[in-house]
Amino acid sequence: MAPVIARLRESQDFTPVVMVTAQHREMLDQVLRLFAITPDHDLDVMLPEQSLFDITSRTLVRLDPVLAGARAAMVLVQGDASSTFLGALAAFYHRIPIGHVEAGLRTHDRYQPFPEEINRRLTTVLADLHFAPTGQSKINLLREGIAADRILVTGNTVIDALLDVARRPDVVLPPGLPSLDGRRMLLVTTHRRENWGEPLRQIYQALLDLLERFPDVVVVFSVHRNPAVRRIAEEILAAHPRAHLIEPPDYGPFVRLQSRAYLILTDSGGVQEEAPALGTPVLVLREVTERPEGVAAGTVELVGTARERIAERAGRLLADRAAHAAMAQARNPYGDGHAAERIVAALRHWFGRATARPAEFVS
C-alpha cells in the first residue's frame, strides 16, 4: 500500500489516513520507516503465537471506534491477510465504501493458502471497487459476478514498491551473510500455515539433498519468527556449514538478496511477483498458487512440498544453465511500476473528480 499512500499524498483530491493493525510488528515497522509512513492509527493487535480467533476479535474491536470517528469517504484494504478482510468487514458495518487493492487472486481451494483464500473471497463480496493486478484476476472477479465497471486492472503495487527500492543506492545486503566467492545462493523463505509440520520437514530435507549434490551452493534461509517454522528449520538445517539461517531482513535488504540469488525457493505470495521483476527464477513450495501468470510466463514453477520433487526441480535449474537462463529472462506479468497511479486515477473517477476512466494495465 505504500505506493498508493505516496500517490494519494501528492493528489489534490484526497487526504490519506493510514491505519495499521501491527499484526506482525517487526515486519511492519521497518517498512514504515523505509517508505516514511507514520500511521495515524496503530491498533497494535500483536500477541505472541496468536490464533486466528485472537486476530479476528482484537482487530474488529479496535477498528470499530476508529472508523466510527473517521468520516472516511472510502476504506482501502490490500491483499489477503486477515486484517484485509476484517478491515473491509468493519468498513461495511459502518457503511463506508471499500476499495480492494490486489483483488481477484484465486487458487479455488478454500484451504490453500489458509486462511488467505477465504479472506480474499470474503473481501471481494464486501468491496465496491476492485483493483485487479492482472487480466486473469479480472476474469476471476467477472466469473464471480462482479460488474466490469467496478474492476480496473492496475498491475500490482508490489512492483511499484520493489522498483522504487531497487533503484535506491543506499539499500544494501543484510549484514552477516557468508562470502559467496563464486558460489551460487539459494534464497529460501517459508511461513504458510498449510505447510507447518511434515511439509516443512520435506522442504528442509530437500535443501540438504541439494547441498549434498552441489558443493558450490550456499543456502541463505530467512527464517520466519513463528516457532512452528523456526523449530523445524533449526533442527534440520542449523548444523550444515553451507546452510545459513538468518533473521528476516528488512524489506530493502531483502530486495537486494532476491536480486543476488541464483534461485529462490519460497511459499510466499509476494516473492512470486517480486523475484521475476528482478530476473530471479522462483520455485514455489505450494500445491496451488493464486498467481498462475508467472507459471504461464515461465518465470515461476510450482513444485509442491515433496522432498524428491523439490530436489529434482531445483537440481535441474542448478545443473542446466540454459534452463535457468530461460526462467530468468521470462517476461514479468505482474506490473510496470505504475499501479498506484492507476488506482488514484480510478478513485478520482469514482468520486467524480475526473471524467475519464483510466486505461488498464495489460499483463
The Cα 355–Cα 180 span in angstroms is 55
Annotation marks residue 247 as catalytic: no
Q: Where are the domains of the chain?
A: 2-156+335-350, 184-328
Fold (CATH) for 2-156+335-350: Rossmann fold (3.40.50)
C-alpha to C-alpha distances, 122 to 33, 53, 85, 220, nearest whole angstrom? 31, 16, 7, 36
Q: How far apart are CA 195 and CA 320, in angstroms?
A: 28
Residue tagged active-site, from 7, 62, 80, 273: 80
C-alpha cell of residue 358: 483510466
Q: Which three cell numbers stand for residue 330?
A: 521470462
Phi, psi of 42 (to 5 degrees): -120, 110
Q: What is the DSSP string of 100-134?
A: EET-----S-TTSSTTHHHHHHHHHHH-SEEEESS
What cell was used for 260?
543476488
Local confidence pLDDT in tens for the 363 residues of the chain: 999 999 999 999 999 999 999 867 777 889 999 999 999 999 998 887 789 999 999 999 999 999 999 899 999 999 999 999 999 999 999 999 999 999 999 999 999 899 999 999 999 999 999 999 999 999 999 999 999 999 999 999 999 999 999 999 999 999 889 888 999 999 999 998 888 899 999 999 999 999 999 999 999 999 998 888 999 999 999 999 999 999 999 999 999 999 999 999 999 988 999 999 999 999 999 999 999 999 999 999 999 999 999 999 999 999 999 999 999 998 889 999 999 999 999 999 999 999 999 999 997
| Marked catalytic residue, from 7, 62, 224, 242 | 224
The one catalytic residue in 7, 58, 106, 191 is 191
Determine whether 273 is an active site residue. no
Task: Please check whether residue 239 is in contact with residue 219, taking contact to mean a CB–CB distance below 8 angstroms.
Answer: no
Indicate if 184-328 has the same CATH topology as 2-156+335-350: yes
Task: Kindly report the number of other CB atoms within 10 A of residue 177's CB atom.
Answer: 16
In CATH, what number does 184-328 get? Answer: 3.40.50.2000
Grid cell in block for residue 131: 483493483
Q: Which of 58, 62, 100, 102 is catalytic?
A: 102
Q: Is 191 designated active site?
A: yes
- The per-residue pLDDT for 85 is 98
Q: Encode burial over 76-107: b for 16+ CB neighbours within 10 A, e otherwise.
A: bbbbbbbbbbbbbbbbbeeebbbbbbbbbbbb
Catalytic-labelled residue, pool 106, 116, 307, 342:
116
Q: Is 193 a catalytic residue?
A: yes
Task: Kindly report whether the global pTM for this prediction surpasses the value 0.75.
Answer: yes
Active site residue 224: yes
Specify whether 312 is catalytic: no
Question: What is the largest distance, in Å, between two alpha-carbon atoms of the chain?
Answer: 62
